[in-house]
Every structure is written in structure tokens, then in C-alpha cells.
A and B are shown apart, each in its own frame.
Chain A
Amino acid sequence: MKTPEQGRLLALSLLGLVLFSPPLLLLFDQPGIANFSTLSGIIFLIWALLILCAALILERHHEE
């Protein structure tokens, strides 16, 4: 039995995998500030958002 919470987490994991994988990754690899690639910056951003979402999903359920 999958609870909605587990479904959300699974979707989040898959989203993370897709965002960190080649086809989308190539889109992030653009020259940015001082000609540096934006790749690292965007990855850190996605990373932080994923953590935020996971925290929201897991902690909200916890309080309920």
C-alpha cells in the first residue's frame, strides 16, 4: 500500500533523477557570469529546492 506521502517522495526522487541527468543537464550548461558555466549554480539551486520539498512533505506529515 502506497500512501500519498510515499507517492510524493517517489515522484520527487524521480524528478531529481531527471533534473540531474543528461538531457535536461545540457540545458543548464550555459555560459553565465564571467563566462563561467551556470551548471554548478543551477544544480545547487535544484538541490536546495529538492531538500525543501522533501522537508515540507516529510515534516508536514509528521505534524499531522
Chain B
Amino acid sequence: MRSSAIVLIVAFSYLALLFVIAAWGDRRAEQRRSLVNSPTIYSLSIAVYCTAWTFYGSVGRAATTGPSFLLIYLGPTLAMLCGWMLIRKMIRIARAQRITSIADFISARYGKSGAIGALVALIAIIAIMPYIALQLKAITVSYAILTQYPDQSQPQLSLSGFLQDKAFWVALVLSVFIILFGTRHLDASERHEGMVTAIAFESIVKLCAFLAVGAFATFILYDGPMDLVTQAALLIPDISHRFGLDQVPGGALGWFGTLILALLAFITLPRQFQVLVVENVNEQHLRRASWLFPLYLLLINLFVIPIALAGLMGGTSTGEPDNFVLTLPLAAGLDWLPLLVFIGGLSAATSMMIVETIALSTMVSNQLVMPLLIRLPSLHLDKRHDLSGWLLGIRRIAIILILILGYLYHALIGEAYSLVTIGLVSFAAAAQFAPSLLLGLYWKGACRSGAAAGMIAGILVWGWTLLIPGFALSGWLDTGFIDKGPFDLGWLRPYALFGLEGWDIYTHALFWSLLLNLGLLVGLSLFSRQSGLEQTQAALFTNALRPEAAQAAIWQGHASRYELFMLLSRYLGDGASIRLLGHTRPKQDDDSPATPEMIAAAEHGLTGALGSATARILINSVVRGEALEMSSILSILDTTSQALEYNRRLEQKSSELARIGEELRSANERLRELDRLKDEFVAMVSHELRTPLTSIRAFAEILRDTGQIPDEKRAHFIDIIVRESERLSRLIEEILDMARLESGRMTLKPTRCNFNEVIHHSVEAVTRLNEERGVELELKLPAQPCWIVADPDRLQQVLINLLGNANKFAAHDQPRVLLTLTPYKRSYRLAVEDNGPGIAEAERERVFEKFHQIEQAREQQHRTPASHPRGTGLGLPISRGIINHLGGRLWADRGEQWGGACFILELPQAPEQVQREAVESQAG
């Protein structure tokens, strides 16, 4: 029953069955009756986590290091428990951004950086290649044991004998399978329903196989677990100590370190990312998977300890602990069970290889090869018409290369490693993605340089503390440096870096590599600036679970529909392009602009096929103008700038209001002042009017009431009445003048007139007054006529007023008044000076205020009662108003002759006068 032929037939039939199942899954997907759209299938597909390492290695690990094998499954259990928060966020981001692999995810988070994507892809290849080799080794070993039992010698691996190595043929069949179901078509979502169906089926097979062996060992070989344990305790004296914590490498600390390692690796292993995130159909499936997958892990581990115990009791017949699963039923002489176990191990190995190879080939083609090819100008890839063939070709070549590399690794150095070692070394390498990935999901500030530096440093430390010593222990290198350090530098010993001793090698490596990784990521992020796109992506990633984050990226650039369509169809083919753009094929001369939605859809489509970094380059090649960066940043900044703008406006408004308030206050003050002046004016005017009126009334009453008044006295009284009436009417006339002046309604009739003549008329008018007081008036006038433009009557009124004032204020003894007229520049200057006390400098402007003189006059009146007819106090303001209207000036100064008061009046010369003078001076 265990002849090579039967085993081979069964094995390859099993692989053929996988093809059928995958084809069926794909068929159902095409018919839109997807099998994958089920939380149970999703949970089972996650069980790709359990590889041949679990299937064979767990028992080996349990037999040698006690319960530490459980850690590899407790870590993922914890990760799945918080998966509803963490993994759902990743799924949502991946859906929104059409993420195709973990390299794509991390590169998208850090500003769609091509360099980060390439770095992640390279690390993944270095980390995972040995893991793939491990699966091939498991197949070879299990086949050898199955067919050659009880001969348990390790199969001799050599490159020359690869045709005899069944693992080689399995790898070959698998590469065909992966090419068929992994790269059948380029889909925007990179989902492979057929493959997922096959993986889920394989998960069931490996679980059943393992449970079957476990049940056989526990219940058929022995009478249940109790019997097994007691017999083991009897048979092997020190066995009871093998399952305590002290058996775990590194003790409690090593336990914790391995737990964290498994937790991180579960999320960051490329194949786990593929099934958890990329292949997820509906994020609600995560609900069921969050507990169903841990349950799967629990079940597959349930019989590990019983099998290990039974195997240990088997002695030489069961051989190596790594092979107990297979040798136990073989030792019992069973035929079919070993075959089932072999198939279980085969399914564990193949499912891992299938998913891992697809994930790696996507990374290689999207993050490593395509970006390089597109940038190579000699290939002219950007001008080719159909690149979808190229893409698929690159991916297929990548798949074959990955499997060949895996096989070479297995054939060349596979012998040296035990299964367990390779698994954990790979885990530690994949865990280097965790800081950039997880911190990037929750911390907006994590930046590209930090992520790159952290991952590079982390992988270097990993290489030094795990990979190179591993090579050395395999006999490839001199092991001296492990104990003494390179060049005898003790602090560089790979298993005791910086003298940190007593830890198990994995916890030790994980501690140093993650410390450096995290430190560089955080440190550099704190001290560097993110680019615009990086900030946008950081915001989109960290806010992915918020409801408002469901927006699509908006392009602000311009591209013609034809160009966009051609770009898409080159990579995705015509059919997919028409579906994406929702249009018929545009004509060549169709240069109507593509809508932002079309550009966004095109980017999504290309991202799905090529990865975000490459898609960005391609879209940028046809879109002119501002692309995603600016608009997205603006939308993020929008709220801030709006608030700022609003603030600025408010500030402006309030300062404006303050200014208006100030103006209003000053206007109010002026109004109050004017009001006060008006009241004063009214009071004064009524006072001024009352004075003559009172005397008129008094004398009129005397005349009426007194019977006999001498004629002489009567005439005197009547004379007073007439004079006071005249004064009254003059006062009223002046008030009217004042009112006209102030309201601007004073009408002047300017004509050409001789200033000399006006002066003479005015002097004549005051002659009588002068004679009364005995004032000596002196005139100094030019001989020739002085032509001006003025209203002669009004001018005369001004002159009479000035002369009257001079008359009033001239000295008591020998009162003298001097009137001079002189040409001054282009005007005439008239000065009226008296020899009185003069006006104090502070008073000189105030005399032009209304009623100002009243006070003075009143004071004067007290001193010399009724000696002079009093002024109204309006003469000077009216005079200044008239002169201003005539275009001249009137002011008071100190007299030059006698130091008394001096009023100076300036009026411009008439234009003709100026001309004529010029003519005369020329003639003369």
C-alpha cells in the first residue's frame, strides 16, 4: 500500500483535485454565485497560517521544548480577538485604495513611495524564501518516510538528483496551479476566488488528517488522555518536567517574546496579509473569523501533546520528534492513516506555497519589476499598446523563479536547518514590517524616511542575530564569531548583542531589531517633514474607520478621455477599461476632458493591477496639471483655512467697527459742540437784540406816559429811539449775513473794481465817526489804480468794519489809525492799524469767533459806560467770511508802526491787471 507508485498517484490526484476545486470556485465566481462569499470559507482560508511547520513541527517542538509550540497559535488568537478593530481597518483601507499586497500597503501609507514598496518586497523575499524551502523539505522528508519506513535515514538532498526528488515535481505542479489560478486575469481587486476555495478545502484536509492521528494516538493506542499521561509518566521518568515553563527557551521572558513575535508575524506575513486583507470579500466576514479561526487553531493543537507523548514512548520506532505524526501510525502498522497524514502535510505545505508565491509574485511584479521597466526608456513601455500581457508574463516568470529559488534553497541548505528554526527566523523577519504597518495605521506622524530606516535597520539586526548565526551553525561559516564576536568584539556577539545574555535567540533578536526599528521610525518621523501626498495618505489611513473617511481621492488634473482609455486598455485590456470608465471606446480625436471620477477610477483600476506607486507614475504621465496631492491637501487644509479666513474677516470687521465707533464719537462731540455754540449764539443774539429794544421801549414809554416834556428832550429821546432802531436793524442785517455766510447762500457780485476807489468810499463813510472821536486817519495808497475782482459793496462793508474797530480801539489820547495798501506778490495787501493796546497773540484768532468781542465790549462798557456805540461781535466773522468768498485772506497781527492792533487783508490782483502791468513794463 505504501509503494512509491501509489503514494505518487494519491499525491498527484490530490493536486489534480485542487485544480478541479479551484476551477469550480472560479466558475462560480464568474456566475456571480461566489463560494468565497462566506465567513466560514474566509476563516478556513486564514488557516493557511498552519503550514507543514505546524503539521509536523508542532509535535517536534512540543517534544523538545514543552508548551512553547502553543505560542505560535496564541499570538494569532490575540491578533484575531482585536481583528475587528485592526484588521477591519486594514481591509477598509485596502478596499478604498486597491491595495494588492503588504508591500503595496506600506508603500501607499508612506506617500505611495516606490522605494518603500521595493524595500518591503525585498525583505519579504529574503524572509520568506527559506519558509518556502521548508515546505518543500517537509514534502520530501514525509514522502521518504512514508515510502521507506522503517528506514528513517534522512533523504540525501542534492541538486543533481532533483529529478528523483518528489518535492521538485510538486513544486512544478504547484507553479502550474498558481499560474493558472493566480494569474489567469488581471483583476482590479487581485482576488483569486478559485485559489481561496482550494485553500479552504486544504485547511479542512489538514485539520481532519491531524485530528485523525491525534484521535488514533489518544484513543486507539491508549485508553484516552489519562491513560496516555500516566503511562508516559511511568515509562519515561523525567517526562513530567518536559511540559513546564522551564522547558521553554528563555523561560518566562522567552515565552512572552515568542508570543509577541507570533502576534506580529500573523499580521505581517505576506500570505496572511493576502488572505486576511486582499482576498477578503466582505468585512463582515471578519466577525465570524475572529473566533472561528482561533477555534481552528485550538483544534489543530489539541492533540499535539498526546501525539508527542505517544511518539516519545515509541522510542526508536517513531524516530525524530518532527516526524511523529507520520511515524506513529506507521509504527502501528497502519496503511491508510499514514497516507492521509501525508496528504494532510502535503495540503499544509502546498496551501502555504500557493498563497505565499502569489503574494510574493504580486510584490515582485508590482513593486520591483514594473516600476523599473516603466522607468527604462529603452523599452518604450509607456508607448506600447497592450501591456496586460507583459504584466501577466512578469508575474508568471516571478512565480516560477520564486519556486525555483525555494527549491534551490531547499536542495542546497535545507538539510542543515530543523523545521522549527526556519519558521521562527522567517517570523522575526516579517515582524520587521510591524512598526511601519501598525504605527502607520494609528499615528499620522509616521513618515517615509523613518519607515525605511526602521525596516532597513531592523532587517540588518535580524540578519546578524538570526540569519548569519543560523548559516554558521549549519556549517557554512566558522562558528567562532558566535561565541567571541567578530574580530573578538564581545559586544557584537550575535546571540548576546551589547552583552544582553540569557535570553533565547528569538526574543533577543526580536527585542533588538524591533527596538531599533521602532526607535528609528519614531525618531526620524519626529524630526522630518512629510510630503504632501504622504500627509494625505497618512490621514486617509489613520482615519479609515471613521464614517466620513469614505471619500474618493479627487484628481484636479486634465486628461483627454482617449488618452486615459488608451492607458487603461494597455494594462487592463479593452473590456475592463470600458467597464471602469463606463463608456464606449472613445474615438481617437475625442479630446473631451475626462471627469475627475474617471481619472480616480482609472487610478484605482491600475492600482489593483500594478500597485499604487506604479499606478501613480502612469496616471501622472497622462494627467496634466495638479494631480491628487494638491486637491487632497487642500481639502484637508480647507477646514483650517476656512476658520482662519473667518477669523481674519471677523478681526477686520471689529477693527472697522472700532473705527466707525471712533468716528461716530467724534462726530457726536462735534455735534454737541455745535449745539452748545448754537445755544450760546441764540442766547447772545437774543441778548444783543434785547439791549436796543429795551432802550427803544423805555424811551417810547417815557414819551407816551410823560405829558410835558420839553421839545429839546423829546427830540433827544426820539433821536435815541431812531439810533437804537438803526442799530437793531443793522444787527439783524448782520445776523442774516452771518446766517447766509454759514449756510453758503451769500451771493456776491464780483466785478472789476479799483481798490483805491473802494478805500476812499469807505473812508468817507467813517469820516464823521472819526471826527466825533477825533481820530486821525492816515492813508498810504499807491498812486496807480489797483484793480481787483470783488463785490465793491461788500468789500466796503468789510473796510468800514475794520476802520470802525480801529476807531474804537485806538488810544484815548491822540487816537490814530493808519491804512496802507501795498502790492504783495500777485495780490494787494491792505493793513488797518491803530495805536491802541493791541491784541494779545492768543486772542488774535479768537477775535474772528462770533460774538467774541462782546465780552471785551462789555468790559469796556463797564469802564466807560455808553461812551461808544458797541459792536455786535459779528463784524469780524462776517468780514472774514466775505474776504474768503472773494478768494482773499483776513487776519490780525501786531501793528508795525505803533504796536497796536493791525488787521491785514489780502486780495488777489485782477488777471488783466497782471497782464497789463506786464505789457506796460515791457513798453516802458
Contacts and interface: CB of A to CB of B under 8 A. Distances in A.
A37 B240 contact: yes
Contacts of B82: 9-10, 13
Given A36-B240, A39-B245, 11 more contacts: A1-B546, A10-B85, A16-B74, A16-B81, A20-B259, A22-B255, A37-B67, A37-B241, A37-B243, A43-B67, A58-B290
Contacts of A37: 66-67, 240-241, 243-245
A54 to B, nearest CB: 4
A26 B454 CA distance: 34
Contacts of B252: 22, 25-26
B295 interface: yes
A48 B244 CA distance: 20
16 contacts: A6-B84, A6-B85, A9-B82, A9-B84, A25-B252, A26-B245, A34-B230, A37-B244, A39-B67, A43-B67, A47-B77, A51-B291, A52-B291, A55-B291, A58-B288, A58-B290
Interface string A28-51: 010101111101100110011011
B245 A51 contact: no
Among A5, A34, A43, the one with the most B-chain Cβ atoms within 10 Å of its Cβ is A34
B894 to A, nearest CB: 88
A44 B302 contact: yes
Given A16-B77, A22-B255, A50-B77, A39 B85 contact: no
A64 interface: no
A61 B302 CA distance: 29
Contacts of B552: none
Contacts, number: 106
Contacts of B458: none
Contact of B305 (A25, A26, A40): A40
Contacts of B276: none
Closest 8 CB pairs of A and B: A34-B233, A22-B252, A35-B240, A37-B244, A55-B291, A13-B82, A54-B291, A13-B81
A23 B96 CA distance: 42
B243 A54 contact: no
Contacts of A61: 287
Contacts of B259: 20-21
A17 B243 contact: no
Contacts of A40: 66-67, 70, 243, 305
- Tell me if B's interface is mostly helix, strand, loop or mixed: helix
Nearest to B71: A20
Contacts of A35: 233, 240
B78 A17 contact: yes
Contact of B243 (A13, A20, A39, A48): A39
Interface string B281-316: 000100110111011001001100100000000000
Interface of A: 1, 5-6, 9-10, 12-13, 16-17, 20-22, 25-26, 29, 31, 33-37, 39-40, 43-44, 47-48, 50-52, 54-55, 58-59, 61-62
Nearest to B75: A20
B402 to A, nearest CB: 34
Given A22-B252, A22-B253, A39-B244, A13 B67 contact: no
B229 A36 contact: yes
A12 B292 CA distance: 16
Contacts of A52: 291
B226 interface: yes
B240 A34 contact: yes
B256 interface: yes
Contacts of B290: 9, 54, 58
B247 to A, nearest CB: 9
B163 to A, nearest CB: 44
Nearest to A58: B287
A17 to B, nearest CB: 6
Contact of A47 (B84, B233, B298): B298
Contacts of B233: 34-36
Nearest to A47: B298
Among A16, A43, A54, A61, the one with the most B-chain Cβ atoms within 10 Å of its Cβ is A54
A40 B301 CA distance: 11
Nearest to B245: A29
A26 B256 CA distance: 12
Contact of A21 (B81, B85, B240, B256): B256
Nearest to A46: B74
B70 A25 contact: no
Interface in B687-708: none
A57 B867 CA distance: 117
A19 to B, nearest CB: 10
Interface string B72-89: 001001101110110000
A33 B67 CA distance: 16
A36 B306 CA distance: 13
Nearest to A9: B84
Interface string B223-247: 0001001101100000011011100
Contacts of B291: 51-52, 54-55, 58-59
B244 A13 contact: no
Contacts of B77: 16, 47, 50-51
B287 A31 contact: no
Contacts of A9: 81-82, 84-85, 290
A24 B672 CA distance: 88
Among A1, A6, A35, A51, the one with the most B-chain Cβ atoms within 10 Å of its Cβ is A51
A50 B78 CA distance: 9
Contacts of B253: 22
A33 B78 contact: no
A13 B78 CA distance: 6
A44 B301 CA distance: 9
Contacts of B298: 44, 47-48, 51
Contacts of A51: 77, 291, 294-295, 298
A25 B74 contact: no
Contacts of B78: 13, 16-17, 20
A23 B745 CA distance: 105
Contacts of A62: 284, 287
A42 B290 CA distance: 21
B159 to A, nearest CB: 42
A58 to B, nearest CB: 5
Nearest to A15: B81
B85 A25 contact: no
B74 A47 contact: yes
Contacts of A50: 77, 81, 294
A16 B263 CA distance: 12
B252 to A, nearest CB: 4
Contacts of B70: 40, 43
Given A39-B243, A44-B302, A20 B74 contact: yes
B500 to A, nearest CB: 18
Contacts of A55: 291-292
Contacts of A1: 546
Contacts of B226: 33
